[in-house]
Structure 1
Amino acid sequence: VEGEARVLIDPNTLSEDGTIALSYLDYSPDGNFVAYSLTKSGSDWQTFYVRNVDTGEDFEDKLEWVKFILPAWTGDSRGFFYGRYDAPTEGDEYEEQVRGMRLFYHEVGTPQAKDVLIYKRSEDAEIGFEPFVTDDGRYLVVRVWKGSARKYEIAIADLRGDDWTPEILFGGFEARYEFLGGKGDELYFLTDRDAPNMKLIAVDATNEEPAPREIVSETVNVIKKADYVGGQFLVEHLVDATSRLTLYGPDGGTPRAIELPALGTVRKIYGSANSTHFVYSFMSFTYPLTLYSCDLATGKSRVFKKSDVDIDPSSFVISQEFYESKDGTRVPLFIVHRKDIARDGTNPTYLHGYGGFSTTQTPSFSTSRLAWVEMGGVFALACLRGGGEYGRAWHEAGMLDKKQNTFDDFIAAGEHLIREGYTSTPKLAIGGGSNGGLLAAVCAIQRPDLFRASLIAVGVLDMLRFQKFTIGWAWTSDYGSAEIPEQFPALYAYSPLHNLVKGTHYPSLFITTGDHDDRVVPSHSFKFAAAAQEAQGGENPILIRIERDAGHGRGKPTSKVIDEIGDTWAFLLYELGEKGDGI
């Protein structure tokens, strides 16, 4: 990591208009090869290639119809495991349901047609796979998933033999398992099995019946992620949605806290079973993404690589406040603003949220949001039920027939900001993307009197038909399905498309989507925009912005990102300012 850097893959040269993007890459254990994937026009579909690191030249390998998966190299670096789907119907690549993943082994330098089928589950087309290989190359570990529910099966295969067919280690889709690594025949997992806030376990791969051994116990603070590095266990706990890093010994003893530079978020951890150090990335609202290298022996960190962003953190105030939701639940809220603003109710404020799929909302650095704050705006981030900030119970309190809790939490956040003098209804906007777009739409419809504007990005807006397109069926674990009679009432009660009331004075809406979005298909936004324009009883505008050759968000060229951010902030400057005078 201390050597001289050189360009291996330059995404800027992939296409003239920037719509072909580098999506994922993974290096072989010996460092000689890199498997990398490209996406076109923001689609989730990936095509994988293999490049020789020394020469910078690609082999003839081209692996198509890949989604939602990273490759897992074998220990000898001769090939890797990956999952793929059958080719979709021509002309329907961006809307057809995606089902039936199969797991293959690909040897470097051979055509995709010669790939070896390793694993499939013909009994259920909704099942997918995520492969891992232990650092010593001994075991293939396959996490078997079904939809978006974080309940998995684990299958393993001993790669020292001739038969690489995985056999079930943990079955039944009863718990969450995150593979951390292995030592010999012992495999390590992070799991919520009998531990809603997660714990670390070890299991002997040679036992016919798994007998998990607990390494790090569950605590009141949820474990967000962990890794097996240098024969030790690195664990990230969340304390009120901020990261704490602790290093545990081989048997889970002698915990040592790793000092972090500020209250914020550990984004990624990089290390291996044989490492003497590990690398982690850290960020916060006014702390740009920075890579740190930490010595395992001393626990001391040093800056390895820092983002080149000119920012004075002392110019801003970051606070975390707690408020009560409709049912009395205590909900955390991060608030960022310039030091010189007054809490007099006049500050243009953007409230952001997500609240779904156990996804955590923690402090992160964003130049676009920082620009909003530098202009005098307030940025607020709510940690809503449905997310994973406080473990399984927090998630389950905002899913299925309890989804209204998520919306109540977000509405209560807006009321808190007004009550505490940060802003007022004429100066308050909300927003979110994907599931967060659903959130922003629902709350604008349910409380049009509370918000001045809503930013609805790539939102799930038709809750009765979302499951019929691409990967939408996988979200029924969180939302439910209108095709199940007992789940229909809850969905219909909040579905944005079906709850617009003609003649209502709705907030100003800025709806954004991409014409190649094959995760949340753009018809959600098209239908909702048309229906909202028809229903609007006031003078506030209902606008839709459709980006060409773009998808759900990933893979956009910088020019398109800048254009969209510029249009978004211009909309809010106009709506929350003095009609064109800005803020």
Structure 2
Amino acid sequence: MPSDQANLNYPSSHKVEQVDIYHGVAVKDPYRWLEDPDTEETKAWITAQNEVTFSYLEDISAREEIKQHLTALWDYEKYSIPWKKGDRYFYFKNEGLQNQDVLYTLTSLDGEPQILLDPNQLSSDGTVALSGIAISEDGRLMAYGLSNSGSDWQEWKVRNVATGEDLTDHLQWIKFSGASWTHDHQGFFYSRYEQPQEKTKLEDTNHYQKLFYHRLGTPQSEDTLIYHRPDQAEWIFDGEVSEDGRYLIISVSLGTDTKNLVFYQDLENPEGEVVELINEFEANYSFIDNDGTILWFRTDLDSPRGRLIAIDLNQPAKANWQELIPPSEDTLKTVGLLNNQFVAKYLQDARTVIKIFNLNGNLVREVELPGIGSALGFRGKRRDTETFYLFTSFTTPSTIYRYDLVTGKSEIFRQPQVNFDPDSYETRQVFYDSKDGTKVPMFITYKKGLPLDGNNPTYLYAYGGFNISLTPNFSLSNLAWLERGGIYAVPNLRGGGEYGEAWHQAGMKLKKQNVFDDFIAAAEWLISNNYTCSAKLAIGGGSNGGLLVG
């Protein structure tokens, strides 16, 4: 590997006299010119930066061997969690090295699968992606969204599941929206914006989203407007039909804030108005299901780590709300309704715990997971007696289990075949003190028997923002790092969602410095405990994590 980075000749980045006034404060922005990627000047700068980068990378002698090894590791079958609609099952599968996962359907778990949609065939250059799907309740129709070249804009179509043929329906100017079918299978709800100017459609800020109902076989121009707010430019609407088909639940969000409003419409009354059930941005409310006029929500109102409540639409005042599952030391992330029981997913020190409660909120059992890691899934309908979940950890590839909700037993349904020995590695969870004394958890993974002599190459990765939790997750690129004697460390910084809303807010705005302090303290702990040294410690992060490390 090249040893003298000081000889790298980076292209110059000239400064301009750009000053903006915000609330009376002058803020310099000397690199504003780089915000336009299409100018010849910016293109030349990018080309010069790439020349420096790739000339350095090409001199790394082990690079080609690592690339070939990663390619071989990646070449194995990968499955998503299956789910059921009507009398059909659906799942995604990747043969190994496909750019996008392929959607399959089958009529029984041991039946012959058929390809429903292969996103790899949507364009010759691979720039069209499947961005969303919604299967009708009878499993016969699929609404699906496509995005082009990474754009947030989506176009939605409808496909006949049995024949694989598309209907004539074609919806445009959809962004930040899914679709939810009515139970008569005649159409679905979705949200869209007005058609933008063609020249600036990828640059303009979008305002005034509207919630519509699309009836199959009709042009988009005839779609029924369900709800919009001309006085609220930035509100985003997510319409979801309840499992019994009676209610349209509308979640209203504003930007990336986790707080939301909840409105509803009684679909048994076609002329019924949209009712504002929760009309203050004071907490997060996630709709779970309903029993007649009783609606269940997971919320962090008066409970930063989450609880389950019931709201009676006949007595919707807050004083009448009923708490079913009270707050606990663990963070309640999601709740589902299966086998007439609540299936609650918790985070306990950033690892998954699944608990099952009856409809009165009494604990039935804790699901025995395969180990300490992350579990996803537990989807289905209220009367289902089986479900599926995915389990993974830093040393466990994503394995799918079938779970019997009656007996409480799990069995492996799909297990990937990856060419490595998980027993050769170990993961530790430690708790270290941040600058202000706050205890912060960190996962550390490495080869068993690795000497802790302060000389190990270590990759410290973190995020710390937007209520996002970093939980144990298998990565082949990390595996290649571990195979070569590297250490992989993941601290759960404030700003994330590992310990609920209070932990999230402790890394926001005027408290953002806590995130950097937590990260620095993680690095100092690794060094002081002889895992590594400063010269062999690399740091990384993406998106918000890029701000952290950059």
- Name the CA distance, whole Å, in 2 between partners of 1:94 and 1:426: 43
2:269 to 138, 141, 161: 161
- Name the CA distance, whole Å, in 2 between partners of 1:306 and 1:165: 49
Structure 1 residues 230-261: Cα deviation after superposition (integer angstroms, max 9, x where no partner): 22100011110000000100111143111100
Pairing 1:355–2:464 present:
yes
Change (3 A) 1:418 1:95: farther
Structure 1 residues 73-128: Cα deviation after superposition (integer angstroms, max 9, x where no partner): 11112111111112233232333212221111111222211111101111111111
Pairing 1:71–2:179 present:
yes
Structure 1 residues 421-461: Cα deviation after superposition (integer angstroms, max 9, x where no partner): 111111111111111111111xxxxxxxxxxxxxxxxxxxx
- Name the CA distance, whole Å, in 2 between partners of 1:69 and 1:111: 19
The match for 1:488 is none
The match for 1:144 is 252
Q: Comparing both chains, which one has the higher relative contact order based on Cα–Cα distances under 8 Å and sequence gaps of 6 or more?
A: 1
The match for 2:396 is 287
Which blocks of at least 5 consecutive residues in structure 2 are unaligned?
Answer: 1-88, 90-108
- Name the CA distance, whole Å, in 2 between partners of 1:41 and 1:55: 28
| TM-score normalised according to structure 1 size | 0.74
2:408 to 299, 303, 313: 299
Pairing 1:81–2:181 present:
no
Task: Judge conservation of contact 1:102–1:120 (CA < 8 Å) in 2.
Answer: yes
Task: Judge conservation of contact 2:395–2:426 (CA < 8 Å) in 1.
Answer: no
Shift of 1:164: 4.9
Q: Secondary structure at the match of 1:411?
A: helix
Q: Secondary structure at the match of 1:334?
A: strand
The match for 1:538 is none
Task: Judge conservation of contact 1:354–1:439 (CA < 8 Å) in 2.
Answer: yes
Structure 2 counterparts to residues 531-542 of structure 1, below 5 A: none
The match for 1:97 is 205
- Name the CA distance, whole Å, in 2 between partners of 1:99 and 1:339: 54
Task: Judge conservation of contact 2:355–2:363 (CA < 8 Å) in 1.
Answer: no
- Name the CA distance, whole Å, in 2 between partners of 1:369 and 1:292: 24
- Matched letter for residue 138 of structure 1: R
Q: Secondary structure at the match of 1:174?
A: coil
Q: Secondary structure at the match of 2:378?
A: strand
- Name the CA distance, whole Å, in 2 between partners of 1:37 and 1:311: 37
Structure 1 residues 260-298: Cα deviation after superposition (integer angstroms, max 9, x where no partner): 001111123311112122222221111111222212211
- Name the CA distance, whole Å, in 1 between partners of 2:196 and 2:518: 40
- Matched letter for residue 303 of structure 1: I
- Name the CA distance, whole Å, in 1 between partners of 2:493 and 2:421: 30
The match for 2:155 is 47
- Matched letter for residue 100 of structure 1: Y
- Matched letter for residue 113 of structure 1: S
The match for 2:279 is 171
**Worse-superposed segment, 298-307 or 389-398:** 298-307
Task: Judge conservation of contact 1:155–1:170 (CA < 8 Å) in 2.
Answer: yes
1:264 to 373, 383, 389: 373
- Name the CA distance, whole Å, in 2 between partners of 1:398 and 1:181: 32
Change (3 A) 1:436 1:181: same
**Between Structure 1 and Structure 2, how many residues are aligned?**
441
Pairing 1:276–2:385 present:
yes
Q: Secondary structure at the match of 1:8?
A: strand
The match for 1:204 is 312
2:228 to 120, 135, 140: 120
- Name the CA distance, whole Å, in 2 between partners of 1:286 and 1:163: 55
- Name the CA distance, whole Å, in 2 between partners of 1:220 and 1:88: 47
Pairing 1:62–2:175 present:
no
1:36 to 124, 138, 144: 144
- Name the CA distance, whole Å, in 2 between partners of 1:94 and 1:437: 24
Task: Judge conservation of contact 1:118–1:165 (CA < 8 Å) in 2.
Answer: no
The match for 1:387 is 496
Shift of 1:177: 0.4
Change (3 A) 1:92 1:422: farther
- Name the CA distance, whole Å, in 2 between partners of 1:246 and 1:369: 31
Shift of 1:205: 2.3
The match for 1:17 is 125
Q: Secondary structure at the match of 2:221?
A: helix
Change (3 A) 1:91 1:424: farther
- Name the CA distance, whole Å, in 2 between partners of 1:118 and 1:32: 25
Shift of 1:58: 0.7
Shift of 1:340: 4.0
- Name the CA distance, whole Å, in 2 between partners of 1:55 and 1:314: 46
Rg bigger for which structure? 2
The match for 1:473 is none
- Matched letter for residue 240 of structure 1: D
Q: Secondary structure at the match of 2:282?
A: strand
Change (3 A) 1:343 1:69: same
Structure 2 counterparts to residues 484-523 of structure 1, below 5 A: none
- Matched letter for residue 280 of structure 2: G
- Name the CA distance, whole Å, in 2 between partners of 1:36 and 1:322: 44
2:295 to 176, 179, 187: 187
1:412 to 518, 521, 527: 521
Change (3 A) 1:223 1:92: same
Which blocks of at least 5 consecutive residues in structure 1 are unaligned?
Answer: 442-583
The match for 2:25 is none
| TM-score normalised according to structure 2 size | 0.78
- Name the CA distance, whole Å, in 1 between partners of 2:372 and 2:143: 35
- Name the CA distance, whole Å, in 1 between partners of 2:313 and 2:368: 35
- Matched letter for residue 159 of structure 1: L
RMSD: 1.4
- Name the CA distance, whole Å, in 2 between partners of 1:291 and 1:85: 38
- Matched letter for residue 92 of structure 1: T
- Name the CA distance, whole Å, in 1 between partners of 2:175 and 2:377: 21
The match for 2:8 is none
Q: Secondary structure at the match of 2:132?
A: strand
Q: Secondary structure at the match of 2:262?
A: strand
1:238 to 347, 350, 353: 347
- Name the CA distance, whole Å, in 2 between partners of 1:340 and 1:19: 45
Change (3 A) 1:165 1:269: farther
- Matched letter for residue 411 of structure 1: I
Task: Judge conservation of contact 1:285–1:365 (CA < 8 Å) in 2.
Answer: yes
Change (3 A) 1:418 1:154: same
- Name the CA distance, whole Å, in 1 between partners of 2:316 and 2:295: 14
Shift of 1:72: 1.1
Pairing 1:322–2:431 present:
yes
Change (3 A) 1:290 1:223: same
The match for 1:465 is none
Structure 2 counterparts to residues 312-461 of structure 1, below 5 A: 312-441=421-550
Q: Secondary structure at the match of 1:362?
A: coil
- Name the CA distance, whole Å, in 2 between partners of 1:89 and 1:347: 55
Shift of 1:208: 5.1
Change (3 A) 1:163 1:208: farther
- Matched letter for residue 293 of structure 1: R
Task: Judge conservation of contact 1:356–1:385 (CA < 8 Å) in 2.
Answer: yes
Task: Judge conservation of contact 2:210–2:227 (CA < 8 Å) in 1.
Answer: yes
**Worse-superposed segment, 364-373 or 322-331:** 364-373
- Name the CA distance, whole Å, in 2 between partners of 1:103 and 1:275: 31
Task: Judge conservation of contact 2:253–2:261 (CA < 8 Å) in 1.
Answer: yes
Task: Judge conservation of contact 1:276–1:296 (CA < 8 Å) in 2.
Answer: yes
